[in-house]
Structure 1
Amino acid sequence: MNAHHHVQSPATTRDDDGLARWDDDGAPPAQPRSSPHLWLRVGAELGDRLVALSGRPDLLVTCRPGTRSGAPAAYFPTLGEVEFDARLFAPLQPHEIRPRVVGDEERYPAAWGVFVHEAAHAAHSVWTAPAGADPRVVEAALLLEESRVEGAHLNRRPTDRTYLRTSARTLVMPDIAHPTLKGIEHAAAAAALVLGRRDVGILDAGETRAVADLCEKVLGADLLATLTRIWTASHRCADDDATSMLAHAQQWCDALDAAAPALPVPENLTDLLSGAVNVVMDSTAATDTADLAAQAAATNAIAAQSKAQAQNRAQRAGQRRKAAATAKSVFNTRNTTVTPDGTPAPYRNPVTGTRKPTTAEQSAAARLSRALRAAAYRERTEERTTSPTPPGRLNMRAALARDAQRAAGSVPTAEPFTHTRRRNTPTPPLRVGIAVDVSSSMRAACAPVASAAWIVARAAALTDPDSLTATIAYDTHLTALTRPTHRAPQRVTAFSANGSSHNLANAIDALDHGLELSRPGTGRLLVIVTDAIYTTDETTQAVTRVKQLTTAGCAVLQLTLTAKSHHLPGTTMLHLTQPSSAPAAIATAATNAIRRTR
């Protein structure tokens, strides 16, 4: 088993020696058989990433086709060098590889997994065997070191688990297929390499079942349990604890020597181990593929959600811009009727004139103002705090407890002074929008709604200077009957209902923008006076706006005057048998809206 080849002492190959002799003969420098200079940049960028992986800035990474050690990669502690076989990147070419770019490693997970494994050696293979140590014991210690360093690396960087699993497929299989150890030691080494990675969390127990069953059959349950205890103990060794690592390695060799004579070795052990490890690696590959697919699906779902949210935000922004334009055109200074796109439509104006408010309307406005003021009143809040020192009211029980604590020699924790802080809660202003349908089926609502609009606007202005109300008459076009100003209207605006079709959606947009019905912090109410006998498109658009307002916390009331009226989903429907009761119903709803405000 050549697992120990991943940690190397300085060595040279025959090619290096031959080139050196050639140079000594005075001939021109020999050209290398491959083109390692193309990989110099890749090696330099790998070295930059090695700093983060290993925590060591003093290491050099050399990347070229083939390695001096013969292993896919190797770490030379005395040279401070990590040697990496460029062929692991196949089929990618040097110019296609950018290791310095975080995330580029996802295109070559096998190569990056081996690199992470060598980074684990560079960070945690700190101990060195003393001179004169038994080579067999040192080899066993290096075998145990394989899973130990990966477990230590996983504790530091748990997100590298996927790459360490990939490196297991790249590194373990060649060691199984071309072993340097024979017989029982071969099976024990396979157990250390595969099951040791299981016990540090690199591989799953279910994935390694084939190797575990085969090793138990070949080694026996008792010997496998002993070896498991040994590699588990080695996982707890410190990085620089050479004594403990060699002691565990000695126990490893002693356990194998004691059990080997009594254990028959299958003639085809290498084939059996290769088959079992192949099953393990296929299982891990399938698991990783499924995990990648799940991760890709989750990433795609998040991306789709983000895209949908961005589109939703863009749509809402577009709606807000359109609502602002609609509000600007509806609440114009010329008192004109406008189309949904803001174009004046003077020949469809439902306003028939203005009149002075009656004594009853003035009294109703005064009563509503008092009711709104009472509903908006908030008690002062009290906040009590304790402290060990004045100011504050002295609590004798806490003072005695503090004296007792001090007499007992403990740190006093009692706080005998109580301070009460009272704060006034601001009175919430009111926002009431009224949208009245002026199609021909709503003629009975004209007079009471005109009166209600004036009463609510007058009462709101008398209650709080920050309160705002507005009324819009809508059919195909939009007309502002009262505007969102802080001044109380002096006259009642009368109107008629002779229109056709309905444009409630744009009326709600104008009221929402003009009164900020979607913004919390005020008592918000939208009153819709309509029989809701709309087309499907008109209903859909209106219900969408109503849902947005109710989601934002605005109360929406629908007043109907006929039994044949339809209910707009999302609204609180109130059927009025007498149109003259509309002002009282709107006043009650406004009072409840401001009372619920917190």
Structure 2
Amino acid sequence: MPAPAHLLPSDPAVTDTEQALARWEDDGGPAYAVAPRPQDAHWLRIAAALAERLPELAGRDDVIVTCEERTRSGAPAAFFPTTAQLEIDRSLFAPLRPAAINPNQVGDEANYPVAWGAFTHEAAHAAHSRWSTPPPLRGSALDTAAQLLEESRVERAQVSRRPADRAHLRAAIQHLVMPDFATNGPTDRWEAAGAAGLILGRRDAGILDPDETEPLHHAVHRILGEETLARLQMIWTAAHATADDDTSSMLAHARAWCEALGAPPDQPQPVPVPGNRSGGGELAAAVGQVAATVTANEAAERTAQARVTAARASRSRAKATQAAQSRQAANIAEKVFGPGNRPFTPESQRGRGRGGHAASPVIGSRLPTAAEKAAAGRLARALRMAAYRERTTTVAASTVPPGRLNMRGALARDAQKAAGALPTAQPWIRTQRRQGPTPPLRVGIAVDVSGSMHAAAAPIASAAWIVAKAAALTDPDSRTATIAYRRALTAITQPGRVPTKVTEFDADGGGHSLAEAADALTAALDLTAPGTGRLLVIASDGRYRSDEAARAADRITALRAAGCAVLWLAFDTDPHPLPGATLLELHDPAQAVTAIGQAATTALTATTP
């Protein structure tokens, strides 16, 4: 059984260097000088950083930490309670270079999990190993059993205080404890029991999982028998509940361990009979299976954690992108609808076409015709019907009027009174009807005034006025805005203002800034905010460059996802609407009334009041 030689009750051995330094005061010779190696300074820095991190693990600030090329204990890491020293082997940090190790930085321990696991285990001893075997019993079977039980006891106490340390302790067990068993398999009952105490004991301490240790459990069960294994399990379970400074209880548990295995407590631990390998190969194979299962589970855990981390990072990037787009949209809306009402060229369109300030596409305005007024009135009625909410009806029972008297309830109440019972019947039925809130409309209109829309300029101007006027007539809280777009954006109707005249356009420009027009309308009208009926109307033939179409399609997708309906009005025989928009092919602007009314109905129905 691998001896737990890393919790040493005596002072650490004195090295040759320390002996040379400890000269008599009257020795007149020069002091012993050690020639430092380049990496020693790094290891001193690492040891100091580990000492700074130790209080968070052990709750102690009096422990000295050293990183040794060869530890004085011979173990990968050790803790000396009498001198409050903790040493750790530098090889545990391999293959990292010392310059790349920075324990001061929280999270850096993920780069050397085995070293940090060993460090955490020794920190658990520093925090919880407050008892020691009396000197006369040191080196005996009782001392060995007590130190074995202490291994899982301190780890259980550590994860009870700091559950996150479990992952690091598992790494140390996987790479430092199990390989010892796999190469030097237990050869007798004493060593088989030791394997159970060190590995199965950590299962019951919550460090390892039952499915991981099942092969070893079956192997030890066949060697020790059911009764002995159950007795040992009771012993290490009792040790887990023992206080940190309860020396007598820990020695009693160790004595019971020796008695269960037939070993004299005050004698050295049993030595395996030479040549007797009974059960050794089976136990070594079982420990190998445990290690393989732990490795697989850790890999699966890392993969799952990586997915979670990637998902969080993706959500964080999405939120950052959305916030940046919102700020950009608010900036564009301020430029488009701000004072002066001058055409605004977005950054994506600058450098294209002629230089200088963009010209406005507006060439004049006229009074609406009787047909356009009638169409606006019909559309307004359709929008009001879409916004109508049926009254909700609530039926409530009561012990007193007003309401309709229910005779069955009245008789039940009289019977309860006659029987001397507390009346609970409610004979009065009251019906309440309430009108649900009607959400206002938010309608954004984007009109394409590029050169390909020249023939449709007049009907588009008419349709834009009809939609804007109808939305304004539905509710005092409804708001609408209109933007004409080509390379530059021009505000036609300011948010919240009712158009009195039909604005006429000159469709002869180049470029298509539909994405930026949608951003400006979204920011000005809150088209992504719930609580209103939201609608974006686009009048265009859809003949865009691929980059313009891609950016505009992203905006349409985002609006649809936020609950905003998107209509695409086309006055061309071969329209190219973008994905996500509902196409309405028209020849007469008045034809849009019914279709827009239906679309608004859908949008308002989905609105949460």
| TM-score where L is the length of structure 2 | 0.70
**1:8 is aligned with what amino acid?**
L
1:113: Cα distance to partner?
Answer: 2.0
Q: Does 2:33 align with 1:5?
A: no
**1:170 is aligned with what amino acid?**
L
C-alpha contact 1:3 1:146 (8 A) present in aligned 2? no
Query: What aligned pairs does 1:552-563 form with structure 2 within 5 A after superposition?
Result: 552-560=562-570
Aligned to 2:288: 279
Distance in 2 separating the partners of 1:334 and 1:86: 73
Q: Percent identity over the alignment?
A: 43
C-alpha contact 2:390 2:435 (8 A) present in aligned 1? no
Aligned to 1:327: 336
Aligned to 2:19: 19
Distance in 1 separating the partners of 2:33 and 2:279: 37
C-alpha contact 2:450 2:511 (8 A) present in aligned 1? no
Q: Alpha carbons of 1:55 and 1:439: their partners in 2 closer, same or farther (altered >3 Å)?
A: same
1:359: Cα distance to partner?
Answer: 5.0
C-alpha contact 1:546 1:556 (8 A) present in aligned 2? yes
Aligned to 1:254: 259
Q: Does 2:492 align with 1:491?
A: no
Distance in 1 separating the partners of 2:343 and 2:187: 101
Distance in 1 separating the partners of 2:117 and 2:587: 79
RMSD over aligned Cα atoms: 5.4
Per-residue Cα deviation, 1:224-262 (whole angstroms, up to 9, x for no partner): 34333332332333333333322222221112118999x
| SS of residue in 2 equivalent to 1:454 | helix
C-alpha contact 2:13 2:72 (8 A) present in aligned 1? yes
Q: Alpha carbons of 1:501 and 1:131: their partners in 2 closer, same or farther (altered >3 Å)?
A: closer
Aligned to 1:354: 365
Per-residue Cα deviation, 1:153-206 (whole angstroms, up to 9, x for no partner): 233323223322333332565689789x98532332233223323333434556
Query: What aligned pairs does 1:130-529 form with structure 2 within 5 A after superposition?
Result: 135-168=140-173, 169-171=175-177, 183-205=188-210, 208=213, 211-212=216-217, 215-257=220-262, 267-268=276-277, 272=281, 275-276=284-285, 279=288, 283=292, 286-287=295-296, 290-291=299-300, 294=303, 297-298=306-307, 301-302=310-311, 305=314, 309=318, 312-313=321-322, 316=325, 320=329, 323-324=332-333, 327=336, 333=341, 341=350, 349=361, 351=363, 353-359=364-370, 361-362=372-373, 428=440, 430-435=442-447, 443=455, 449-461=460-472, 467-472=478-483, 482-494=492-504, 504-505=514-515, 507-509=517-519, 511-529=521-539
C-alpha contact 2:463 2:590 (8 A) present in aligned 1? no
C-alpha contact 1:7 1:75 (8 A) present in aligned 2? yes
Specify which of 81, 84, 100 is matched with residue 84 of structure 2.
81
| TM-score where L is the length of structure 1 | 0.72
Q: Alpha carbons of 1:199 and 1:442: their partners in 2 closer, same or farther (altered >3 Å)?
A: same
Aligned to 1:112: 116
Moved more, 29-38 or 204-213: 29-38
Distance in 2 separating the partners of 1:336 and 1:3: 79
1:433: Cα distance to partner?
Answer: 1.5
Distance in 1 separating the partners of 2:12 and 2:552: 82
Q: Alpha carbons of 1:33 and 1:144: their partners in 2 closer, same or farther (altered >3 Å)?
A: farther
Distance in 1 separating the partners of 2:208 and 2:466: 76
1:280: Cα distance to partner?
Answer: 5.3
| SS of residue in 1 equivalent to 2:61 | coil
Per-residue Cα deviation, 1:280-336 (whole angstroms, up to 9, x for no partner): 58526743773586268547845873686378448736963785488369x964699
Distance in 1 separating the partners of 2:357 and 2:183: 87
| SS of residue in 2 equivalent to 1:46 | helix
1:150: Cα distance to partner?
Answer: 1.7
Q: Alpha carbons of 1:15 and 1:344: their partners in 2 closer, same or farther (altered >3 Å)?
A: closer
What number of residue pairs does the alignment pair up? 562
List gaps (5 residues or longer) in structure 2: 395-431
Per-residue Cα deviation, 1:121-173 (whole angstroms, up to 9, x for no partner): 12222334468669432331222111222222233323223322333332565
Distance in 2 separating the partners of 1:463 and 1:555: 18
C-alpha contact 1:433 1:515 (8 A) present in aligned 2? no
Specify which of 555, 567, 581 is matched with residue 545 of structure 1.
555
C-alpha contact 1:476 1:499 (8 A) present in aligned 2? yes
Distance in 2 separating the partners of 1:54 and 1:570: 59
Q: Does 2:587 align with 1:582?
A: no
Distance in 1 separating the partners of 2:22 and 2:588: 115
**1:555 is aligned with what amino acid?**
A
Per-residue Cα deviation, 1:411-434 (whole angstroms, up to 9, x for no partner): xxxxxxxxx9x9996963543425
| SS of residue in 2 equivalent to 1:192 | helix
Distance in 2 separating the partners of 1:336 and 1:194: 72
Distance in 1 separating the partners of 2:591 and 2:493: 23
**1:51 is aligned with what amino acid?**
P
**2:557 is aligned with what amino acid?**
K
Q: Alpha carbons of 1:546 and 1:32: their partners in 2 closer, same or farther (altered >3 Å)?
A: same
Distance in 2 separating the partners of 1:97 and 1:73: 18
C-alpha contact 2:443 2:525 (8 A) present in aligned 1? yes
| SS of residue in 2 equivalent to 1:3 | coil
Per-residue Cα deviation, 1:571-596 (whole angstroms, up to 9, x for no partner): 23345575543356546655775676
| SS of residue in 1 equivalent to 2:23 | helix
Distance in 1 separating the partners of 2:343 and 2:80: 88
| SS of residue in 2 equivalent to 1:553 | coil
Distance in 1 separating the partners of 2:211 and 2:470: 75
Per-residue Cα deviation, 1:449-500 (whole angstroms, up to 9, x for no partner): 54443344445556656544344556777666x3225443343334577889
Query: What aligned pairs does 1:114-129 form with structure 2 within 5 A after superposition?
Result: 114-129=118-133
1:84: Cα distance to partner?
Answer: 0.6
Q: Does 2:49 align with 1:45?
A: yes
